[in-house]
A and B are shown apart, each in its own frame.
Chain A
Amino acid sequence: MGKQKPDMIKGTLDMLILKILSLEAMHGWGISERIQQISRNELQVNQGSLYASLHKLTREGWIKSHWRVTENNRRARYYALTRAGEKQLGIEAEHWGRLATAVGQVMATS
């Protein structure tokens, strides 16, 4: 299975998806690739969690989906951020920032 990758912190996948989709609409495979790329392979997205997350976000109304033809002429489901999703991304990013700072401070104490 290769070297150990850090576990994705629970709930962060949703935030990452929202972030990626805030750049542009994307299909599921593209989202996982993009996360992997940007994190320089540090973050591996589990396919099952990815689609579970996508469908959950759709149910919550934060993203919406539509079928479109890719540049390779294949039909794929593209996800895009909704207005509510943008707001949610803001909230989660802010939460995450505070959490990361807090964790960093704790870890920085000698």
Chain B
Amino acid sequence: MRWIANVVFRLRAILAPGRMEQELDDEMAFHLEMEARKLVERGMTEEEARLHAQRNFGRMLRNKEKAREAWGIGLVQDLRADARFTLRGLRRSPVFAVVAILTLGLGIGGTTAIFSVLNGVVLKPLPFPNPRQLVAVHHTMPAIGADETPLSPAMYLTFREHSRTLDDIGVWRRRPVTVTGLAEPQQVDAAEVTEGLFPVLGVSPILGRGYHEEDVAPGSTYPVILSQGYWVRRFGSDPDVLGRTIRIDGNELTIIGVMPGGLRLGRMKPELFLPLVFNRANTGVGNFSFPGIARLRPDVTPEEANRDLDRMTVLATEEYPGIPLADLEARRFSTFVRPLKQDVVGGARTVLWIVFGTVGLVLLVACTNVANLFLVRAETRQRDVALRSAMGASQGRLARQFITESTVIGMLGGCAGLLLAFGGNRLLLHMAPPNLPRLEEIGLDPAVLSFALGVSLLAGLLFGTIPVLRHRRGGLAESLKEGGRGTGSSRRWFRLRSFFAMSQVALVLVLLIGSGLMIRTFQALRSVPPGFQRPEEVLTLRLSVPSSEARTADDAARTHQQILEQIRQIPGVTSVGAAGSVAMDGWESWEDVEVEGFPPRPGEAAVHRRLNWITPGYFATLENPLLAGRAIEWEDAYGRRPVAVVTENFAREFWGDPVEAVGRRFRTAANSPWREIVGVVQNVHTTGVAETPPSVIYWPLIMEGMWGISTFTIRDLRYAIRTSRPDPTTLLPETRRAVWRVNPNLPLSQILTLDDILANSMARTSFTLVMLAIAAGVALILGVVGVYGVLSYLVAQRTREMGVRLALGARPADVRRMVVRRGGVLGVVGVVVGLGAAVGLTHLMSALLFGVSPVDPLTYGAVAAALMGVVLLASYIPARRAAGVDPTEALRWE
């Protein structure tokens, strides 16, 4: 039971120190009094007794200290004393405290906000069990420029049956569907998945079941699985939803399960899941359009898996028809796996690391400023410290106190930073590119909080070591002698401060150059003619006519034609057209073609061309002018005419001139019909303005013999509507009515202006640009403050010297020049170092640059000159102060 007494005693000492102190005081006072009384009894006068007691006062303080030590809470007491001392010190110099805390807060807040995004998007493991075993499986055919393609069904089946390195593999495919009968008709992003996919990922339904073998057997009714989001939105989380049916593309499908929220396939977040079934009898090698996800067996490395899967190429070509082995070898076909997370995160990784590196530099600039503040503070407190040291404070005790102080500042800065990060986080989510994956996983979670805590602690400890180093015992006597006037050792410390200022200039320069390069990139992107004009006038939306609404290809095309005519009659609409894909909206279809008169050379692989299906009015609406021939007409579709319009680069590749191309013929495969080029249009940057525009082939909506299908048609189109109204989105209600006048079961989806589409395709650039610009701006302010601070301090330290100089006849201009020169040297050295660092660092961001070299002389020159100007300006203010020193005042100053 004794330990309880012990704990109670110590707790009391910690929690009620006032009470303990009071009791100790009383006890000691009583003791002294009794002692004095004893002396008086022995014949000492009252006066003598009092003096005796007073002499013993110092001893009493030590005695009390000894008794306190017996409380067994020494460390706690010291910390408390240090913290109290720190807070008192900070209250006494609130400017120092506020500036240091805010500067640190800015740095820590910015870094933490970006870290929260980096953590959520890039660092956090995927939300599946044993995510390290999950890989994305791709084919590559470098000889035809296809670095990575999704899987062929034949390859998938082969992998599944023969692989020794995969636990299992599943494939999927995106499939937009139309849901009718629930409310207004709606286009829904669905995914077809093989029955093995959910077990591979390790996700189980929150309700009902996943797919079984019998669901994908021929003759099954193809049950549907809902995503949690769709279940909540459309069925109000109804637990009795299982067994109900939902009308998808005109078929009544039974709901058998609900998958947990946040389930993504690649970058896609499907609302509905449908079973994906391959009919073994008509599966061949080819049709590379199914993204594959596999789980590696434990202890299997990706390299082993690659070797294993590559072995399957031969097996697949032996077992299935389609592309023969020789052709695959000509394309240098192979299969590779890579961590699934990499596929999900994609290009966001580079951007986020660059932005994180940038704010890291800002944090460094902020820390440099605060370190400078601590240096000044250490200097002004030199005498105070020397005094305390002389009175017996041990080095360790002093060091601990400095570190407590800097840690308190660091933590307060961290708190300010967290507040900032909280706001910054919101802002970032608002600004983030719309295609940034895993947005919902971004937040201030424990990892982010520990990051902020770690940075604050580290910064605090670093700053604490500055005064500790400053006040090593050696300098003690010196500082007492110096009387606070900086000479000797202070010089050395001034040099350190100058070094800090120079580093700041260098860091700021790197950041400014980074944002300068992004601005140049953005300019370059905006100046590329994208293949359409004035995108802000064009409203686009997707509209699909499923076979349940228009059975034949002609019915579907006619429905689209009627809708287009209805839309054209809306007041303010100047032109309207539709296409499978509008500009860079991300809907893609590719095929290689054979041009008449240019027989494919054996062993040489064909080049993929982008395919698009369009209605009349499409080119006119985008204002993509015809260079030769004519556009696609409705009669081309209804009459099944074998015609096409191609882009300029395709025409030039083969015939050198658009006019020459008209009347020439080409085909998509050896057994498909020849098709005639009837027109040539300008190039369009369909893969983003930063990319070389691909050759595009435009087809009528209905074709004969495409991909071996007798009547091929495309029912899912994006409409483009050009208007003279200032805001094209105001067209929406009338457009909806126009569509429903033709057919009330058709959903409108993905409503965007063409400008949105263009902006989205540049979102990565503009996001990086904004982030870099903010970072560089903050760093610039902090850096200027840093340079200004160092020079102001220099002037303050040398006021006397300036006074003497002026008294001896120096002109104010000379003094001014002297200080400005000092700043100039800081600036020049900083700029030179910064230029060197920029050359080394900017190539890291070359993946983000377009139309500008990472060592663009114009950017480097302009930024260096501008920064130099700012540094000189920052030195001019203290210089003017130095020149304005009144000699008599300055000399009387001491």
Contacts and interface: CB of A to CB of B under 8 A. Distances in A.
Interface of A: 27-29, 33, 47-49, 51-56, 58-62, 67, 74-77, 84
Given A52-B69, A54-B70, A59-B70, 7 more contacts: A47-B59, A55-B67, A56-B72, A58-B9, A61-B1, A61-B4, A62-B2
Contacts of A67: 23
Given A29-B31, A75-B26, A77-B23, A47 B63 contact: yes
Q: Which 8 A-B pairs have the closest CB atoms?
A: A48-B63, A61-B5, A61-B2, A51-B67, A55-B70, A48-B66, A56-B70, A29-B34
Contact of B2 (A29, A54, A77, A84): A84
Contact of B30 (A33, A58, A74): A74
Contacts, number: 75
B10 interface: yes
A83 to B, nearest CB: 9
Q: Specify which of B26, B64, B70 lies most central, judged by the most chain A CB atoms within 10 Å of its CB.
A: B70
Interface string B19-53: 00001101110110111001000000000000000
B495 interface: no
Contacts of A60: 2, 5-6
Q: Specify which of B2, B27, B60 lies most central, judged by the most chain A CB atoms within 10 Å of its CB.
A: B27
Interface string B80-118: 000000000000000000000000000000000000000
A81 to B, nearest CB: 13
Contacts of A62: 2
Contacts of A27: 27, 30
27 contacts: A29-B30, A29-B35, A47-B31, A48-B62, A51-B27, A51-B63, A51-B66, A51-B67, A52-B70, A53-B70, A54-B67, A54-B70, A55-B67, A55-B70, A59-B5, A59-B6, A59-B9, A59-B10, A59-B71, A59-B72, A60-B5, A61-B5, A61-B9, A74-B33, A75-B26, A77-B30, A84-B2
A56 B9 CA distance: 10
A61 B24 CA distance: 18
Main secondary structure of the interface of A (DSSP, over half): helix
A12 B56 CA distance: 25
A39 B3 CA distance: 34
Given A61-B6, A75-B26, A77-B27, A49 B66 contact: yes
A77 B30 CA distance: 9
A87 to B, nearest CB: 10
B63 A75 contact: no
Contacts of A76: 27, 30
The contact size tier of chain B is 20 to 34
A51 B26 contact: no
Given A59-B9, A60-B2, A77 B26 contact: yes
Contacts of A33: 38
B31 to A, nearest CB: 5
A41 B6 CA distance: 34
A20 B63 CA distance: 21
Contacts of B65: 48
A62 B5 CA distance: 9
Contacts of B59: 47-48
Q: Specify which of B5, B23, B60, B62 lies most central, judged by the most chain A CB atoms within 10 Å of its CB.
A: B5
Nearest to B37: A72
A41 B65 CA distance: 26
A109 B565 CA distance: 129
A52 B5 contact: no
B269 to A, nearest CB: 62
A92 to B, nearest CB: 15
A32 to B, nearest CB: 8
Interface in B180-235: none
Contacts of B28: 51
A61 B6 CA distance: 6
A75 B30 contact: yes
Contacts of A55: 67, 70-71
A29 B28 CA distance: 9
A59 B68 CA distance: 12
Contacts of A28: 27, 30-31
A49 to B, nearest CB: 7
A55 B63 CA distance: 12
B30 A51 contact: no
Contacts of A47: 31, 59-60, 63
Contacts of B67: 48, 51-52, 54-55
Contacts of B5: 59-61
A55 B35 CA distance: 20
A77 B25 CA distance: 11
Contacts of A74: 30, 33
A27 B27 CA distance: 9
B62 to A, nearest CB: 6
Nearest to B5: A61
Contacts of B63: 47-48, 51
Contacts of A52: 66-67, 69-70
A90 B464 CA distance: 51
Contacts of B2: 60-62, 84
Nearest to B10: A59
Contacts of B62: 48
A52 B27 CA distance: 12
Contacts of A77: 23, 26-27, 30
Contacts of B70: 51-56, 59
A49 B27 CA distance: 14
A56 B71 CA distance: 7
A26 to B, nearest CB: 12
Contacts of B24: 51
Contacts of B4: 61
A75 B24 CA distance: 13
Contacts of B72: 56, 59
Contacts of B71: 55, 59
Nearest to A49: B66
B49 to A, nearest CB: 15
B881 to A, nearest CB: 55
Contacts of B66: 48-49, 51-52
Nearest to A53: B70
Contacts of B35: 29
A62 B26 CA distance: 22
B37 to A, nearest CB: 9
A64 B69 CA distance: 18
A47 B56 CA distance: 11
B684 to A, nearest CB: 84
Nearest to A30: B34
A8 B871 CA distance: 71
Contacts of A59: 5-6, 9-10, 70-72
Contacts of A58: 9
Contacts of B6: 59-61
A17 B28 CA distance: 17
Contacts of B64: 48, 51
A60 to B, nearest CB: 7
A77 B34 CA distance: 13
Contacts of B9: 58-59, 61
Contacts of B30: 27-29, 74-77
Contacts of A54: 67, 70
A15 B9 CA distance: 21
B237 to A, nearest CB: 60
Q: Specify which of B3, B6, B60, B67 lies most central, judged by the most chain A CB atoms within 10 Å of its CB.
A: B67
B69 to A, nearest CB: 6
B75 to A, nearest CB: 16
Q: Specify which of A28, A52, A76 lies most central, judged by the most chain B CB atoms within 10 Å of its CB.
A: A52
Contacts of B3: 61
Nearest to B23: A77
Contacts of B60: 47
Interface string B689-704: 0000000000000000
Contacts of A56: 70, 72
B66 to A, nearest CB: 4
A61 B72 CA distance: 13
